[in-house]
Chain A
Amino acid sequence: MTPATRSAIRFCLGLCVCLALAADCRALSQDAMSHVLEEQRQRIDVIERVYPTVVAIYGRNVQAGGGSGVLIDPAGYTVPNFHVVAGAGASSGWAGLSDGKLYRWKLIGIDPGGDLAIIQLTGRDDFPYAALADSDTVRVGDGAMAMGNPFALAEDHAPTVTYGVVSGTHRYQGGTGSSGNMLVYGNCIQIDSSINPGNSGGPLFNMQGRVIGINGRGSFEERGRVNVGLGYAISSNQVRRFLPEMFATKIAEHATLDATFDDRADGVTCNAIDYDYCPLVEHGFELGDILTHFNGVRIESANQFLNELTTLPPDWPVEVRWLNEGRPRRAVVKLNAVVYDESDSARLPGQPDDEETDIALPDGQPGEIQDDDLNQQIATLMLRRLTETSPTRRIRLASPDTARLEGSYPVHGQTTYRIRLSYEDAQGVVYLSDHLNPRLLRIEGLDALELEPDAPEHPAPVDRMDNAVLSVTQNRCVKLYGGAIGREHGYASGVIVSPDGHIVTAQGIYLASPRLRVVLADGSHHFATVLRRDDDSQLALLQIGAPTPNYFDLDAAPLASVGQEVWAVSNAFNVAEAREWLSVSRGIVSLRAELDTRKRAQDFNINSQILLVDAITANPGAPGGALIDPSGNLVGVIGKVLESDTTNTRLNYAIPTDLVARFVAGQPTSDPTDTAAEAEGPGTLGINIFRLAGRRSPAYIDSVAPDSPAAAADLQKDDLILTLNDEWIRNVRDYETQTRNVLAGATYVITIKRGDRVLRVEIVAAPIERGAP
């Protein structure tokens, strides 16, 4: 070898070493750490800025707890949920702010159908207030912070802040009450930021510190009213739509079509009509007709129709298009008002007293809006003292001495205005929207007024998920529907793993159905057959009879490391229907381990390595869902809901992709249990355990057989056996279980407690002699 070659080799080796070291120095650099700290600082700053606007709302008794709200106006106007003020049982109460002080609040208006209310805090005219964002700009994966008073933990009225991401947009959560028309959450935002009882009515902020929603509902199941990763917030645009109505009419109303629909293979199909009231009937609308457009929007799911409907007030004219036996039909009709049942109206809070309103109302005739000129879009409004006691009282506004526009909230060409009206002996603020009522478009004399400038943007951490990655992922995931029995759920999620319709999911009762259905991301339905199951990983392989060009490449999957960010994509609680996106939540990998798990009362081992995550995946409908990294690689498949037998809590875990790949390829997913290298038949250790105290008592050694392996290792009476081959021995029963099949020639590692010391011994089991006891 020439010197040149030698030096060449040395050079290459040196280079290899350098490069290897550099690769290992993926440890955190100065730059990266200061980037992390800067993001953290920005988040802290945003919270500090909006913190004072969060309200803890109580009834008359602060100790009884309550809900939350957010200030949206320096005069003290605050938006909570309707059910928060209904729970207060009165039209006034106490409110706490982060300054530790209590302020009285009074009720201004309610929207029971949409679960909103307006109250006013009193005692100041300079309350800190939050800005409403345009909720149509919210995307799945955006960072979102919920603030409020869960479980009334705020002894000093300082709110609780939780942080997560938007899991779904334009979600629909059906109503409650006898007719299911109260507390309807249409077009709502789903989040995995934790919200619990007490958070209701509180704000959901984006990372810029603007309100994108009002938190109010959650999906709950067997654990009761405790957050399991799915919360729902009324969108800020919905709040905007109904603010003026709540101010003007005290009780805002919602609209109904008096017909209902569900998702069928042919489309969104009418399944019920109230023939006395439905305005479409006279236009030839029938049961079984398929809805295609509503209010100018193409309708692709029943939920979407309901989402549109929730945003509209009664008397609103809408264009409806449908197919009647394949023939397209069209009509423009006016929607009726939703009627709240008598029994539900008991839940409506008492009406505010007259003397509590700020607005001085001169006498006048109740009546229509005068000078109503739709062509010129000008209306002069009549103001009216409230003397009737009918359930729906209306305020009409008289020509004020002065009207000053104090602010506006523009949303896609539609605007809500805040206007201060002054009269000789009083003044008040009203909200009007050109979106809500086409007759209330302008007030005379306002043309030349200036609008308040928008609050300046502050730097905020960029906290959005790559929606292109999410979109690709959604196309590779499916919704599964099958049979259900009792508490077992008939729905789940699945991941597509080949272009030929192969789908992996977790095992569950739904697989037993002869009509197992898969819904793809495009909304198409397909029947599926179960090809194979695996006992160890509890996975199942299905196939549908359609090509699936969008699938996860199991071989390209990376190894997951603790601490890395992961996104869980699944149909937990069956929130998503038809083409709607599966729910997305964010967490990190907590641990990669082999664990013993238990399915309720039945002992059941998952014999494979699993990935624990700190997103909540142990929910009905989630098993079979995808766990991906931020680049879209499949890191694991969410497993069936199980409890850990060490903590007695539900496990949030996924089967890692390398094991999923082995299952799909037909290979075993767990390693064969180690057998003793030189097993020579049954063996003995020579240990006699003290049994007189019962099998649940600790495993003390009672005696050691002479000339046995235990004797040779100097094990003694009264030694306490702690572990046997790394298995913790809690009691005599555990010891018996672990020593059921002692094999001669096998090595057993035992740790014992002797007095105050812990000792470790290794012994090799001896063969049992014939005739020995």
Chain B
Amino acid sequence: MKSLRALLLSFCFAALTASAHPEATDDATAQAVRAAVDKVQPAVVTIETVGGIGFDRTNEEAHRRIAGLANPGEGPATGLIVDPHGLILTSTFNFIRKPRIITVTLHDGRRYVAELLGRDDTRKVCLLKLTDDSLHSLPTADIAPADELKIGQWAIAMGVGYGSDTPAVSTGIISALGRARGRAVQTDANLSPANYGGPLIDINGRVIGIITPLNPRQPDAPGAGSEWYDSGIGFAIPLEGLDTVIERMAEGETLSRGLMGISPANSNDSEETPGVVIARLAAGGPADAAGLKTGDRITHIDQKPVASFDDLAKALGPRLAGDQITVTYVRGDETPNSVTLTLVASAELSSQAADEDEPDEDTPPPTDPDAADSGDESSEDAED
């Protein structure tokens, strides 16, 4: 009996070791990444669309306005469930073609029709709703608190843009906070159409933000920023604090940058009197209608001091069309005065005035702030 027991024991051990696949060396970080991805995966959806504007390169007008990737692919897109009743956040990049039919496939394979409710063009995110009203308990993911985010922490991107059942994963770190006028977190994880609209998560499986292409110097072009795919420059919109935006999108609103309708005098010299002098006014714009005049010096926005053009851009940057602000200004030698005005979208301003934080249309935007010369003989001129 002893020998039989020994035989059985050795047989068991042999069977166990033989059945194990030769696993590649698996360190703790890889395991933590997989655990984090598994935690969020139930809330990640695949968005597929039918119909919409087709693109060909001969369509110069469309080509120029899109910026970024010359021809956005036609593959599936990624989204994230943000409400158990069927609200889904994704990136407007996936809807540049304005498709007529939208379907969403959940992690468990169930597929539904969805409609686009609203969009935030300043953050390049939009909100979908599943048309099936019987859904009440869809899985959502935990959100990483924005004040706990640190430069250098792990940032993991998930996306289904290649058409796979499980998400493709890429890792990097948080590179910077408060980019794009405080709207976005920057990361060096590979971000591309493979994961635009999907979640950027931390090592604990909490969502840092929604991945979306951004190029802060081209805030109005829908695809701008996608030219930086896989380059180590990428952005995600933090979910925390997005509640008001989501509410407004759910109402069907299109949110765009809020502008005052002024052209400021551009000066960085802090030795001059602090404040921003109005160089030009858009006729009929909010500033004009509120009684502001050329030459007025703006000193405060919402009681916060504005000493320079930079401060003004920071104060107005995150504002949306429809927001109300209070502007304090000084005219000549008079005592300071305050007016309240409502910001509007750029489309509503007359074409005479330039935008607050964009150069004139005549001056091309600086595209190459600095040249890191190429080290390769075979380099070619930049496209676009």
Contacts and interface: CB of A to CB of B under 8 A. Distances in A.
Contacts of A688: none
Contacts of B76: 646, 728
Interface string B148-181: 0011111000000111101111111101111101
B152 A23 contact: no
B151 A19 contact: no
B233 A216 contact: no
A644 B162 contact: yes
Nearest to A555: B22
A220 B35 CA distance: 36
A590 B168 contact: yes
Interface in A141-176: 145, 149-156, 158-164, 173-174, 176
Interface stretch (A5-13, A250-258, A708-716): A5-13
A194 B317 CA distance: 27
A577 interface: no
Contacts of B194: 644, 647, 649
Interface stretch (B244-252, B254-262, B321-329, B372-380): B372-380
Interface stretch (B2-10, B138-146, B274-282): B2-10
Interface string A52-84: 000000000111111100000000000000011
A649 B24 contact: no
B168 A591 contact: yes
B336 interface: no
Contact of B383 (A222, A593, A722): A222
Interface majority SS (helix, strand, loop, mixed), chain A: mixed
A4 interface: yes
Contacts of A158: 176-178
A564 B26 contact: yes
A161 B232 contact: no
Interface string B357-384: 0010000001011111111101111111
Contacts of B23: 558-559, 561
Nearest to B370: A67
Nearest to B188: A162
B330 interface: no
Interface residues of A, number: 140
B266 A196 contact: no
Of B29, B153, B381, chain A has the most CB atoms within 10 Å of the CB of: B29
A200 B370 CA distance: 7
Contact of A696 (B12, B54, B132, B175): B54
A87 B371 contact: yes
Contacts of B179: 153, 155
Contacts of A562: 34, 37, 166, 169
Nearest to A172: B375
Interface stretch (A335-343, A351-359, A612-620): A612-620
Contacts of A51: 151
A198 B228 CA distance: 14
Contacts of A753: 101, 103, 113
Given A152-B366, A161-B173, A591-B169, A195 B372 contact: yes
Contacts of A26: 26, 31
A11 B5 contact: yes
A556 interface: yes
Interface majority SS (helix, strand, loop, mixed), chain B: loop
B368 A197 contact: yes
Nearest to B308: A102
A756 B113 contact: yes
Interface in A681-730: 696-698, 720, 722, 728-730
Interface stretch (B13-21, B285-293, B347-355): B13-21
Contacts of A227: 231-233
Contact of B4 (A5, A556, A755): A5
A127 interface: no
Contacts of A588: 30, 33, 169-171
A174 B112 CA distance: 57
B314 A197 contact: no
Given A588-B30, A614-B189, A196 B16 contact: no
A534 interface: no
A4 B1 contact: yes
A616 B228 CA distance: 13
Contacts of B216: 153, 155
Given A36-B28, A562-B34, A591-B164, A64 B373 contact: no
A224 interface: yes
Of A183, A231, A620, A644, chain B has the most CB atoms within 10 Å of the CB of: A644
Contacts of B339: none
Contacts of A230: 375
Nearest to A14: B12
B24 A558 contact: yes
B265 interface: no
Contacts of B359: 63
Interface in B310-336: 310, 313-314, 317
B231 A559 contact: no
Interface in A605-647: 612, 614, 616, 620, 629-631, 633, 635, 644-647
A81 B167 CA distance: 41
A280 B12 CA distance: 76
Given A160-B186, A161-B151, A720-B101, A226 B228 contact: yes
A346 to B, nearest CB: 15
A755 B22 CA distance: 50
Interface string B231-246: 1110000000000000
A600 B177 CA distance: 37
B230 A616 contact: yes
A54 B76 CA distance: 40
A155 B309 CA distance: 12
B84 interface: no
B229 A649 contact: yes
A571 B229 CA distance: 22
B25 interface: yes
Contact of A224 (B193, B217, B314, B384): B384
B188 A560 contact: no
B113 A197 contact: no
A565 interface: yes
B370 A66 contact: yes
A60 to B, nearest CB: 9
Interface stretch (A27-35, A239-247, A365-373, A539-547): A27-35
Contacts of A39: 29
Interface string B34-54: 110100000000001011001
A153 B176 contact: yes
25 contacts: A36-B203, A40-B154, A47-B151, A63-B359, A155-B216, A156-B178, A158-B176, A160-B175, A185-B375, A200-B371, A220-B376, A224-B381, A225-B371, A227-B231, A227-B233, A561-B23, A564-B25, A590-B168, A614-B189, A644-B73, A649-B69, A649-B229, A696-B54, A731-B51, A758-B112
Given A13-B12, A26-B26, A228-B230, 10 more contacts: A47-B151, A84-B370, A151-B233, A160-B176, A224-B381, A557-B22, A562-B169, A587-B170, A644-B75, A646-B162
Q: What 8 pairs across the A-B complex have the smallest Cβ distances?
A: A194-B232, A646-B75, A65-B369, A224-B382, A614-B170, A173-B375, A32-B28, A558-B24
Interface of B: 1, 4-5, 8-9, 11-13, 15-16, 20-35, 37, 48, 50-51, 54, 69, 71-76, 100-101, 103, 111-113, 131-132, 150-154, 161-164, 166-173, 175-179, 181, 186, 188-190, 192-194, 203, 215-217, 227-233, 266, 268, 270, 310, 313-314, 317, 359, 366, 368-376, 378-384
